[in-house]
Structure 1
Amino acid sequence: MSENDDPALLGPGYALGILTPEESAAYEAYLASSAPARNESRANDETAALLGLDADAITPPARLKANLMAQLAVTPQLPSLQGPSPQTTDAATAADTPAPAATPVAPAATAVAGPVEAAAHRRWFAKPTTVLVAAAAAVLLFVGGAVVGGTLVPRPSVEQQQASALAQINSAPDAQRASAEVANGGRATLIWSGSLGTSALLIDGLGTLPHDKTYELWYIRGTKAVSAGTFNASADATSWRVLKGTMQAGDTVGVTVEPAGGSEQPTTQPIVAIRS
């Protein structure tokens, strides 16, 4: 790290554990002197954990890290947004039982090591879109990409679009979330923005299905169910998907097990249903 480098640009690399000891020390010193930097560092850590990208530690090629740092250097960083705290609730898991609407819960403060006391903890989903997109891009570059002849080859753009859409939902001023237990094990969290009309579902511990089955997402409105896409899952990682279509106020988001390729209407009872 040269004297002209901005330590703020080291944040995503620090969260991914790819910095040199010198860079880590410089970034930790920066964290100790800046409360906003500590908030951003926590946001980067939580974003990586949220996406379920806990991979075994590896040493990335020097050129790969250089490519990432070069992209981060030209990514504009916006000031932190001031807005209402997102809301957190638990919701019902049965499809035939009305789920309660989300109710606000104040986020808890998190202690941070260092000579300076941390400011109040801001949840990752309250960060500006630019910061979260940069963090998601960093994760995609290192975990979702491949290196061929020293050149970075990213994963298909649909996954980058999903990450960007998730970041936009998370950073919306009216972002909310609600959680519920999954019938066959695991826990689901619905994140949505009424102003954007979009939502995303994240599930921990969801089992892998046979090849002839798939998980299907639904927007449930009274007696009507509208398909919102299909996805596969791995019990070893967090499964997540930004739902297709437009979310309407009061929609319940449900997940069913369907034949491969999905169904026009649910053929099984939802394993989880969360009301927005």
Structure 2
Amino acid sequence: MTSDLHTLTGAFAVGALTGPEAVAFRRHMADCDACAQEVRELAETAARLAMAVAEVPPAGLRTRVMAALPEVRQLPPDVPVIPLRPVARRGWRQRLPQVAVAACLAVAAVAAGIAVDARHEADVQHGRTVRAERQAAALSALTSAPDAALRTGALKDGGTATVVSSRSLGQAAVIFHDLPALPGSRVYEVWYSRGDTMVPAGLLEPGRRTGSALLTRTPAGAEGVGITVEPRGGSSSPTGAPLVLLAV
């Protein structure tokens, strides 16, 4: 968590803070009128983005995408086979020194692991805060671009999504609201539609039903942005029909 909570207004307004970060900022905002006002203004801007008028994708876009899905082949997992070597049997008396050494190493590993875990957790929290701040800044720049285009649509199973894109910045983002909860084995994945090809553009954070995400790659040449439900970790090509497909 950054020591300057005043810089987190943008991240909080777009739902990029979670867990202890969100709790700490809410506590700070209760005593800071300036941050509370800035969050209200940014939240109103995000709400206006979500209420942008939906537009129908180009005629035939969904038909071409669905027709191309059966032609996309999935590669089987590349799992190396490691042969097992037979281990010679030894008496328990011969193994006592090795057992003692292994026990000492195990104790040392546990002690070191606790320290490493604490450091790792601190690094993870800091990394999340930095990413949230960068995403908020990038989203603000994207929505402020002179050529920013917005498209909003409803997902087939519920919820809405707004795609914001800028050709001059070569960047796009999706703002989503009230998406249906998914089981832990599934995740929402975003795609660029280019002709008959669906190109992966990123995953929405598992478990998050409202928020925003900057898309990977560039929207150059893309006709639309779609969202599908995929196995956790994502897929290289869609395994089902898009829940929504918005023109860009």
Q: TM-score, normalised by structure 1?
A: 0.49
Paired position in structure 2 for 1:265: 237
Is the 8 Å Cα contact of residues 209 and 232 (structure 1) preserved in structure 2?
Answer: no
Q: Report the secondary structure of 2:29's partner residue.
A: coil
1:204 aligns to 2:177 (yes or no): yes
CA distance in 2, matches of 1:241, 1:251: 19
Q: Report the secondary structure of 2:133's partner residue.
A: helix
Unmatched 5+ stretches in structure 2:
1-5, 14-25, 65-121
CA distance in 2, matches of 1:92, 1:252: 10
Q: Report the secondary structure of 1:18's partner residue.
A: helix
Read off the aligned partner of 2:157 and give its amino acid letter: N
1:164 Cα deviation from its structure 2 partner:
2.2
1:96 alignment partner, one of 58, 62, 75 = 62
1:240 aligns to 2:235 (yes or no): no
Which structure has greater helix proportion?
A: 2
Q: How does 1:45-194 map to 2 (within 5 A)?
A: 45-48=40-43, 88-92=52-56, 96=62, 155-194=128-167
Q: Report the secondary structure of 1:96's partner residue.
A: helix
- Deviation per CA, 1:130-154: give whole Å up to 9, x if none: xxxxxxxxxxxxxxxxxx9xxx967
1:162 Cα deviation from its structure 2 partner:
2.0
Paired position in structure 1 for 2:99: none
Q: Report the secondary structure of 2:183's partner residue.
A: coil
Paired position in structure 1 for 2:198: 225
Deviates more, 1:154-163 or 1:222-231: 154-163
Unmatched 5+ stretches in structure 1:
1-8, 28-40, 53-86, 99-147
- Specify whether residues 267 and 50 from structure 1 end up closer, same or farther in structure 2 by C-alpha distance, changes over 3 A only: farther
- Deviation per CA, 1:60-113: give whole Å up to 9, x if none: xxxxxxxxxxxxxxxxxxxxxxxxxxx943134896269xxxxxxxxxxxxxxx
1:203 Cα deviation from its structure 2 partner:
1.3
The size of the alignment, in residue pairs, is 165
1:249 Cα deviation from its structure 2 partner:
4.7
Identity %: 32
1:46 Cα deviation from its structure 2 partner:
4.3
CA distance in 2, matches of 1:202, 1:180: 11
CA RMSD of aligned residues (A): 4.0
CA distance in 2, matches of 1:176, 1:51: 14
Q: Report the secondary structure of 1:168's partner residue.
A: helix
Read off the aligned partner of 1:45 and give its amino acid letter: R
Paired position in structure 2 for 1:36: none
Is the 8 Å Cα contact of residues 194 and 249 (structure 1) preserved in structure 2?
Answer: no
Q: TM-score, normalised by structure 2?
A: 0.54
- Specify whether residues 48 and 234 from structure 1 end up closer, same or farther in structure 2 by C-alpha distance, changes over 3 A only: farther
CA distance in 1, matches of 2:215, 2:156: 20
Q: Report the secondary structure of 1:270's partner residue.
A: coil
CA distance in 1, matches of 2:61, 2:242: 6
- Specify whether residues 44 and 263 from structure 1 end up closer, same or farther in structure 2 by C-alpha distance, changes over 3 A only: same
